[in-house]
Amino acid sequence: MRKLYTFFYSFAAVRATLQGKQEERLPFFSFTFPRSFQKQFPHHYAKFVGNAESLTTPFDVHATLQHLIELQNSIVDNEADNLNSYHLTQTMPTPYVKRAQNRAISLFDSIPKNRSCSDAYIEPHWCACLNWQRLSLNESESHMPTLRKAAESIVATINNLTDSYRALCAPLELERINWALRLHPHKELITYKQNSDKDGYVADMSDKMRIHEELYQLQIVVVPGQSLFEASVVYDLDTFEMHTKVAEISRVNKYGNQANCIYERNPELRKYCYCRA
C-alpha cells in the first residue's frame, strides 16, 4: 500500500435524475496518494490539492498520469531498498505549460481559477457553467412544436447510426420527452456593444444583437426498450432546421442485454442498438 495510487469514479441509477445529469458533468473522482509521494513531491502534491476547486477534465487526468510517470522516472534509487533515499535528478522534464487555454493540464500544476469551458475545449452539451432555462412540457406552450422537432432530430440521428445494421437493430421511435432546457444567454453578453469610455471601465450595453440559433438540451425516452437519451440540439433560426451531433448524445440508462446482437460487429453501437427479437 505504500506505493499504491488509487482512483475512484462511479456510474449508477442516479444518472437518470437531474442531479445525475449535473454529476455526469461534475462526477465524483477521487485520488489517494501514498505518504511517500507527499514527502518526496510536496510542491506537486500541494498544487494537486489546490486544484480541487478548479475546472478540470478527463484530459487533465490523462496529463496527470503522464506527469506521474515522469516524476517516478526522475527518481534515482541510491539505495534499492530504502525509499527515503530516493532523490530527484536535475534533468527532470517539465513539459507542462500552465495556460488556461490548454486542453490538458496536469493536476500537479496550478490550473487557472478563471478557466472556462471554452478554454478547456468543453462543448456546451457538457458544460455545467452555462445558464440553462427549464422549459414547461405543457402541450399549450408555444415552444412544444420546437421541442418535438428537436426530439425527433435526436431519434433520427440515432437511427442513422444503426441504419447499416437494420437487420439486427430495430428502428427507434420517440415515446416522450422527460425534460427540456434552452440555453439562455446572459443579458450582458447579448447587450454588450463596446466600451463607452476611453479607459474601458464603462460598458455600452445598448447592442441589439440578433440570435441566429438556439441550443436545446433534452432527455427523451424511446421505444422499443425504454432507452433514455440526453442530447443537445442546435436550432437554426434562419433555416428552421435542427442539428444533432452524435458526440453530444448520452445514453443515460444501462443497455444491458438489449444490444448483444451488435457486440461482435460494432460494439460502439451498443448504446444505440435495440436488438430485434
Domains detected in the chain: 6-120 (no CATH), 133-269 (3.10.450.10)
User: Reduced to 3 states, what is the DSSP secondary structure of residue 178?
Assistant: strand
Of residues 64, 146, 154, the one with CA closest to residue 106 = 64
> How far is Cα 102 from Cα 57, in angstroms, rounded to an integer?
11
Q: Would you call 16 exposed, middle or buried from its count of C-beta atoms within 10 A (0-12, 13-18, 19+)?
A: middle
pLDDT score at 120: 85
Residues 6+ apart with CB under 8 A from 202: 195, 196
> How far is Cα 135 from Cα 182, in angstroms, rounded to an integer?
7
Decide if 6 contacts 31 (C-beta within 8 A): yes
pLDDT score at 266: 96
- 92's grid cell: 527532470
pLDDT score at 9: 66
State how far the alpha carbon of 31 is from the alpha carbons of 124, 149, 237, 241, in Å: 27, 43, 45, 44
Crossing angle for the helix pair 58-73 and 42-50, to the nearest 10 degrees: 170
Decide if 138 contacts 243 (C-beta within 8 A): no
- 41's grid cell: 513531491
Decide if 76 contacts 40 (C-beta within 8 A): no
pLDDT score at 36: 87
- 241's grid cell: 432546421
- 265's grid cell: 460487429
* DSSP structural state of residue 161: H
Own/partner pairs for 144-151, CB < 8 Å, 24+ apart? 146/216, 146/235, 147/177, 147/180, 147/216, 147/218, 148/174, 148/177, 149/235, 149/242, 150/180, 150/216, 150/218, 150/233, 150/235, 150/242, 150/244, 151/177, 151/218, 151/220
Residue 221 has a CB neighbour count (10 Å cut-off) of 17
Q: Which residues pair with 180 in a beta bridge?
A: 218
pLDDT digits (tens, 9 = 90+) for 37-78: 888 899 999 999 999 888 888 899 899 999 988 888 876 443
Residues of the chain with pLDDT under 70: 1-3, 9-24, 75-101, 125, 128-130, 184-210
Residues 6+ apart with CB under 8 A from 215: 124, 182, 183, 232, 233, 234, 235
